[in-house]
Amino acid sequence: MVGRSGFARLCGQPSGLYIPPMATKRLGRKGTGASDFIRKQPPDMKAREVVEAGKKAGLKFSAQLVYNVRGSKKSKAAAGRASTEARFRRLVVELGVTRANELVSDVEKGVERLISGG
């Protein structure tokens, strides 16, 4: 095992403090990047229009980056739904199908009461 000072030497750090490369990049970052700019644009704006708006704002990026950034937002939302469904399935297994059906029935009745105002 390498001690702290040995680890620092291995990483090219003069002291015993190791600063990961990503941390230094984040600390030195100024303003917003192209990805942040893309996320702030309306979702119905075409990729070509986003690139043109970015040029006017002094940013240089391709339409492919617009597709990548917007696609990652969609995949995160889909992943959230998938994880919620996976948790629900685990609960059904844990509770048993009969009890899970009873609980779902109770929730349905409660929603119906809310909708009907009663």
Model-level pTM? 0.41
- Please count the structural domains in the chain: 2
Do residue 58 and residue 101 come from a single domain?
A: yes
As a whole number of angstroms, the distance between CA 35 and CA 55 comes to 13
**Whole domain around residue 86: which residue ranges?**
31-116
Do residue 42 and residue 87 come from a single domain?
A: yes
Do residue 23 and residue 51 come from a single domain?
A: no
Note the pLDDT of residue 85: 83
Do residue 63 and residue 21 come from a single domain?
A: no
DSSP annotation string for 45-111:
S-HHHHHHHHHHTT----HHHHHHHHHHHHHHHHHHHHHHHHHHHHHHHHH-HHHHHHHHHHHHHHH
Do residue 20 and residue 36 come from a single domain?
A: no
The one-digit pLDDT tens for each residue of the chain (118 residues) are: 445 455 455 555 455 555 555 544 444 455 568 999 998 999 889 999 999 999 999 999 999 999 999 887 766 667 777 788 888 888 999 999 999 999 999 999 999 999 998 6
Do residue 54 and residue 71 come from a single domain?
A: yes
| Phi, psi dihedral angles at 111 (to 5 degrees) | -65, -40
Quote the DSSP letter at residue 33.
-
